[in-house]
Amino acid sequence: MSTARAIPENSTPAQLDQLCVNTIRTLSMDAVQQANSGHPGTPMALAPLVYTIWNRVLRFDPENPIWPNRDRFVLSNGHASMLLWSALHLSGVQAVNANYETLGKPSVTLDDIRCFRQLNSKAPGHPEYHWVSGVETTTGPLGQGVATSVGMAIGEKWLAHSYNRPGFEIFDYNIYAVCGDGCLMEGVASEAASLAGHLGLDNLCWVYDNNHITIEGSTRLAFTEDVETRFLAYGWNVLRVGDANDLERIENALDIFRKTNGRPTFIVLDSHIGYGAPHKQDTAAAHGEPLGDEEIRLAKRSYGWPEQAKFLVPEGVYEHFAAGIGKRGADAQSKWQQLFDAYRAKYPDLAMEINLLERRELPAGWDRNLPVFPADPKGIAGREASGKVLNVLAQNIPWFLGGSADLGPSNKTTLTFPGAGDFQSDNPGGKNLHFGIREHAMAAIVNGLSLSKLRAFGATFFIFSDYARPAIRLAAVMELPSLFIFTHDAMGDGEDGPTHQPVEQLASLRAIPGLITLRPGDANEVVEAYRYVMQLRHQPAVLALSRQPLPTLDRSNYAQASGVAQGAYVLADSPSGNPEVILIASGSEVSLAVQAHENLLAEGIRSRVVSMPSWEIFEHQPQAYRDRVLPPSVTARVAVEQASTFGWERYVGTSGHVVGMKTFGASAPLKELQRKFGFEPDDVVRAAKRQLGTK
């Protein structure tokens, strides 16, 4: 640990404050220079802000960084990650493992900062949730952090309404998010800000680093709107701090935020990127480049810093943070724990629920009363079955909630049981979330709710998963059990045409590491899909559900739908169990494959039907199981799916055939589309016979 005295003994509080600010700045400069990669300018400019939030304002216990009632800090302009690594290190935040145990070692060490952006360092290039304790969400793509913070704010409001009791404010934390011009240019931030204003989330504060510069140059090139007026129109309380170096004015603005009721707060902070770097503040500092040794030396001189010192944490800095956030956080956490102990004694059932949700566990009997659908050749749509399951789960799991991007009646995601209610500013305990037509923000908000330890879902048409995909990817990166429900999964909305007929979406989502994608084939497979995904603790899931009715298979003749838990299973087989040809299908094409199978059996051809709702789950099964389902010796294979054929060769082989989509569909009634694109039983039978070398 490098220590030295950079100011005289008996320093004033203001001098200690400035010493800490400059420590953040110089650590950032040194780390970026040593890595020869990164963004020094924003950390230099925003060091006073981050210091003020962390050491003067934030209710956060460094010794217990997962304390449920802690304030949340989100660095949405995540390229400035050295701000966060410096704050975590100087505050002495402790590391926590996956079992929620404090490890007795720092979350971020000075050596981690020395190894900024290097392999295995706890100071990566952008904040990474679950890699580093004290990081509340992964922020990389601009706008995601602030959008996710809206989910965190909704989560706190729901938790407070649901669990607080008179004299027991168990949840009353705030969310602070720092953002830049890039975040505010991204549409996802606008979507989220609009919803936050509508909901009156007065526990949410965004601080906007108004530095007038982006990578290409001045914001005058492309961003000249009146941001303050925009946020006033959204219904936010808008404040302005004209000097990013004025700690007192920053703290005063944050104090006004905490006293503001009924509106989120937006603070415009006028800053100068690369503060203290006299020659390159508008070039390298802005463009994500190291300043260079000479520029760093001059900047340190302007701070009154030892010019040759590197990674210097002067004497008194750690102590000053310990006396600030350390003492304040420990006191707040201790008082909260005493309150919670008394709460547990008076409300043991509610306390148990809080403990379960904080550990991402489910209550006893969470899957009781799930429907079992009788065999029915007319069947029920996947979305209809889903709606019935959601209404059971939301009653069995108190902290399960969600909604659609303005499509609840069509997605069938509306929770209709007594007391479900709509989440609004005057009813923050409602379980039906109304995201409006904001698919991207919806997915980010679902992630924010999941980060708040609620089980949350968001829904829309499958084609619009494209709009939600960036946040879905981040759910996988963060290993969150977010749930995304997509209906109208193929050509079932026929007349709407190619713009509403998903083709490549399944392949795209299957390509995301860590994401579970399920396309169930009938109502009972829908039930089992939910049974599987609700038990996930560290993986997000996508359900792709049909608009149109699917035959409910007679499970006395076919295998049980519980096979969904293996990702793929033998649904129907030849009497001998020795197939000549295997038909593999998902979703609405499962019943099509079953019809083709029966036709083949009638002709004396030994056929097997494999229902494969999830590639990812199937790939996690033991090789022996996979070989039983898809025997390597049977190379005559046909896959059937109303989607892109991309990727199916892994299951049918290079000589197999895929009945799939090679265009974007068309506008017509469903039956005509099925005929045009070859999704009828005779098409599958012919493909199977070709595989066997027969006509």
In a domain, 410, yes or no: yes
Name 400's bridge partners. 455
pLDDT of residue 492: 85
Q: Are strands 237-241 and 217-218 parallel, antiparallel or unpaired?
A: unpaired
Give the pLDDT score at 282: 45
Taken as a whole, the chain contains a residue count of: 695
Question: Which residues are paired to 179 by β-bridges?
Answer: 208
Are 536 and 573 in a shared domain? no
Amino acid at 383: R
Q: Going by C-beta distance under 8 Å and a sequence separation of 6 or more, which residues neighbour residue 378?
A: 549, 551
DSSP of 154-192? HHHHHHHHHH-BTTB------EEEEEEHHHHHSHHHHHH
Same domain assignment for residues 210 and 266? yes
**According to the model, what pLDDT value does residue 6 have?**
46
Closest CA to 410 of 315, 492, 317, 299: 492
In order of 76, 124, 307, 318, 452, the CA distances from 9 in angstroms are: 37, 35, 20, 15, 43
Q: Calculate the CA 510 to chain-centre distance.
A: 17
Strand order in the sheet with 72-75: 72-75, 175-180, 204-210, 265-270, 237-241
Q: Which residues are CB-neighbours of 19 under 8 A, at least 6 positions away?
A: 6, 7, 11, 314, 316, 317, 320
Q: Is 9 a catalytic site residue? A: no
d(CA 671, CA 592): 13
Mark whether 526 and 615 lie in a shared domain.
no
Positive or negative: CA dihedral 104, 359, 59, 206: positive
Q: Active-site residue among 136, 191, 439, 528?
A: 439
DSSP class of residue 27? Answer: H
Q: Cβ distance 656 to 637 under 8 Å?
A: yes
| pLDDT at residue 236, rounded to an integer | 98
Co-location of 308 and 427 in the same domain: no
Query: Within 10 Å of residue 662's Cβ, how many Cβ atoms?
Result: 10
Q: Note whether 8 and 316 are within 8 A (CB).
A: no
Q: pLDDT tens for residues 42-86?
A: 999 999 999 999 999 999 999 999 999 999 999 999 999 999 999
Q: What is the pLDDT of residue 275?
A: 66
| C-alpha 550, offset from chain centre | 31
Domain boundary among 300, 333, 366: 333
Classify residue 368: in a domain, yes or no.
no
Does residue 572 fall inside a structural domain?
A: yes
How does DSSP classify residue 236? -
Quote the CA–CA distance of 311 and 108 in Å, as a whole number: 14
570 shares its domain with 527:
no
531 and 586 inside one domain: no
In-domain check, residue 349 = no
Same domain assignment for residues 544 and 574: no
212 and 250 both lie in a single domain: yes
Residue 338 lies in a domain: no
Among residues of the chain, what percentage have pLDDT more than 70? 96
Residue partners of 440: CB distance under 8 A and separation at least 6:
147, 187, 188, 191, 467, 468, 470, 471
Q: Are residues 21 and 151 in the same domain?
A: yes
Q: Domain count for the chain, please give it.
A: 3
d(CA 545, CA 308): 62
Residue 23, burial from CB neighbour count under 10 angstroms (0-12, 13-18, 19+)? buried
DSSP assignment of 111-127 equals: HHHHTTTSTT-SS-SS-
Distance between CA 322 and CA 63 in Å, rounded? 11
The SS3 of residue 690 is helix
In a domain, 514, yes or no: yes
Q: Is residue 350 part of a domain?
A: no
CA distance 337 to 154: 23
Q: What is the CATH number for 399?
A: 3.40.50.970
Q: What order do you get walking across the sheet with 657-661 strand by strand?
A: 569-572, 607-611, 581-585, 637-644, 657-661
User: In terms of residue numbers, what domain contains 576?
Assistant: 566-691
- State the Cα–Cα distance between residues 213 and 222, nearest whole angstrom: 10
> What number of other Cβ atoms are within 10 A of residue 619's Cβ?
11
292 Rama sector, left if φ>0, alpha if ψ -120 to 50, beta otherwise = left
Q: Which residues of the chain have pLDDT under 50?
A: 1-7, 280-286
Residues 127, 27 share a domain = yes
Strand partners, 434: 404
For 278, the token pair is 């006299």
Amino acid symbol at 600: L
Residues 582 and 462 in one domain: no
4 lies in a domain?
Answer: no
φ, ψ for residue 332 (rounded to 5)? -65, -40
Q: Which of 299, 333, 367 is the last residue of a domain?
A: 333
Q: Is there a single domain that holds both residue 318 and residue 452?
A: no
Question: Distance (Å, rounded) from C-alpha 683 to C-alpha 695?
Answer: 12
Q: Evaluate whether 438 touches 405 at the Cβ level (below 8 Å).
A: yes
| Residues 6 or more apart whose Cβ sits within 8 Å of residue 175 | 71, 72, 74, 149, 152, 153, 156, 203, 204, 205
pLDDT at residue number 295: 92
pLDDT of the residue at 3: 45
Q: Last residue of a domain, which of 526, 550, 574?
A: 550
What pLDDT is attached to residue 223? 81
Distance, in Å, from the CA atom of 457 to the CA atom of 350, rounded to the nearest integer, reads: 22
Structural element, H or E, at residue 455 = strand 455-461
